[in-house]
Structure 1
Amino acid sequence: MGIEKISKIISSKMGERLNKNEEEVAVLNYGLFILIHTSIAIMLTFIIGVLTNTLIEIMIISVVAALLKRYSGGVHSSSPLRCLITGVIFSLFLAMMCKFGFSKISNTILGLVLVLSIVVSYFILYKKCPVPCANKLLKKESTRKKLRKNAFKLINIYTSIMIIFYLLNIYTGIVLFKIVTISILLGILLQIFSLTKVAELTIDSFELLYNILKI
């Protein structure tokens, strides 16, 4: 049974008990769906992070990307389950790259990568944000402006945090600070990637695989 069906059953029963009208039940259903989907995503990501010894990396990457996606939009899979699986796959791949590859680069190279990545991220965000999807068409200009403004506020916060942790890493030599810096950056880049045409083609390829596997 899918998440959508579960949330619909629960919201319908709650609506009957609380004597809610159809519109109120729909709102309740949406809220329950988001809660259940988010809870499953967090638990699954946490478990995979523990099993692969990438807990810090995968949690930071997932949370950073998810929060930015809320405002910037981007490509989606055709179902919540597929979206969840795809998100975990990408986050795990980047977490593994962070732990066993990127965390070993020098601070000088990391600094250059940070500057280049931040510039590219701001540029793509400026050109693309917000990107609509089937469930969120974003026809109102006021809504688009609000989402765009919040997206830039959030990436400004991310950038500030990265700079702080990067400097802490330089002055203390504590590897954890470097890991946090890189993880935040990878989370940003993951979401920025989802705004591009390449991401659409990638998701289409995943969709073909899911169809074959009947997921």
Structure 2
Amino acid sequence: MDLAQISQEIANKITEDLNYSEDNKEIVAYAIETGLLNILGMTLIIFLGLLLNAPGPTILAALFGGTLRRLSGGAHFDTPLKCLIFGAIGYSAVGLLAKNLALMGFTSFTFTTIVLFVSLLLVLGLAPVDSQAKPIHSRSLRKKLKISSVAFVVATFIAINVVNDSFFITSATLGLFFQSITLLPIFNRRRWIQL
């Protein structure tokens, strides 16, 4: 039984006495599936971060990258579970790299500025990237997502220049950079990644 079926079963149990329409039951099932995926994703990210002895940087990278992803879109796999696993492994690797760079003192203003500038250029040129499952048809929504993506990168730049913590600086910078790379066309052809 996959996650969608489990979510549907839970939704059926929750709504059986409420006389919900099929549409409303589907909305409840979707909310449950999204919630379960988020919990599973964060659990996996924390577990891998602990396994790599870099839980803080991993969580920070995932929070910054994940927030940008919600606004900018990016590469997609053919199932949410594959996306979740790839993201957890990717952000864990980014967290480990961020930890090691911070320990080596590699948090110069020049480095973070260059990396965030590249991220900003990618977001300006490519965001938002939609998927087959969630196409963006509205020009207004597309414009709002682009503006929000750019604003988030700029806000992150300001935050890393205010906070004086090397783990925070490297984690936030590399988390955003990792997510901005997923906007590249090589990861977003109209035949979404299938494994």
1:7-44 CA-partner distances (Å, limit 9, x unpaired): 11111222222211112112111111111100111111
Report what 1:133 is aligned to: 131
Q: What TM-score, normalized to structure 2?
A: 0.91
Q: CA deviation at 1:102?
A: 5.1
1:88-114 CA-partner distances (Å, limit 9, x unpaired): 11111112212224541445xx21111
Indicate if the aligned counterparts of 2:99 and 2:170 stay in contact, CA closer than 8 A.
no
What is the identity, as a one-letter code, of the residue corresponding to 2:36?
A: I
Q: CA deviation at 1:52?
A: 2.0
Report what 1:119 is aligned to: 117
Structure 1: give runs of 5+ residues left out of the alignment.
169-176, 209-215
Indicate if the aligned counterparts of 1:15 and 1:21 stay in contact, CA closer than 8 A.
no
The percentage of counterpart residues that share the same residue type is: 23
What is the identity, as a one-letter code, of the residue corresponding to 2:123?
A: L
CA distance in 2, matches of 1:45, 1:159: 24
What is the identity, as a one-letter code, of the residue corresponding to 2:13?
A: K
Report what 2:175 is aligned to: 187
Q: CA deviation at 1:51?
A: 2.4
Is 1:6 equivalent to 2:6 in the alignment? yes
1:143-192 CA-partner distances (Å, limit 9, x unpaired): 11222222222222211111112xx2xxxxxxxx1111000001100110
Q: Aligned to 1:18, what secondary structure does the other structure show?
A: coil
Indicate if the aligned counterparts of 2:115 and 2:177 stay in contact, CA closer than 8 A.
yes
What is the identity, as a one-letter code, of the residue corresponding to 2:81?
A: L
What is the identity, as a one-letter code, of the residue corresponding to 1:186?
A: L
Q: 1:153 aligns with which of 137, 151, 157?
A: 151
Query: What aligned pairs does 1:61-100 form with structure 2 within 5 A after superposition?
Result: 61-100=61-100
Query: For residues 182 and 101 of structure 1, do their structure 2 counterparts lie closer, same or farther at Cα, with a shift above 3 Å needed?
Result: closer
Q: CA deviation at 1:200?
A: 4.5
Give RMSD over aligned pairs.
1.8
What is the identity, as a one-letter code, of the residue corresponding to 1:160?
A: I
1:53-72 CA-partner distances (Å, limit 9, x unpaired): 10101101111111111110
Report what 2:23 is aligned to: 23
Indicate if the aligned counterparts of 2:62 and 2:175 stay in contact, CA closer than 8 A.
yes
CA distance in 2, matches of 1:82, 1:21: 31
Runs (4+) off by over 4 Å = none
Report what 1:44 is aligned to: 44
Q: Aligned to 2:33, what secondary structure does the other structure show?
A: helix
Query: What aligned pairs does 1:103-114 form with structure 2 within 5 A after superposition?
Result: 103-107=103-107, 110-114=108-112
Indicate if the aligned counterparts of 1:3 and 1:80 stay in contact, CA closer than 8 A.
no
CA distance in 2, matches of 1:106, 1:121: 18
Q: Aligned to 1:53, what secondary structure does the other structure show?
A: coil
Q: What TM-score, normalized to structure 1?
A: 0.83
CA distance in 2, matches of 1:133, 1:14: 30
Name the one with the larger helix percent.
1
Report what 1:199 is aligned to: 187
Q: Aligned to 2:133, what secondary structure does the other structure show?
A: coil
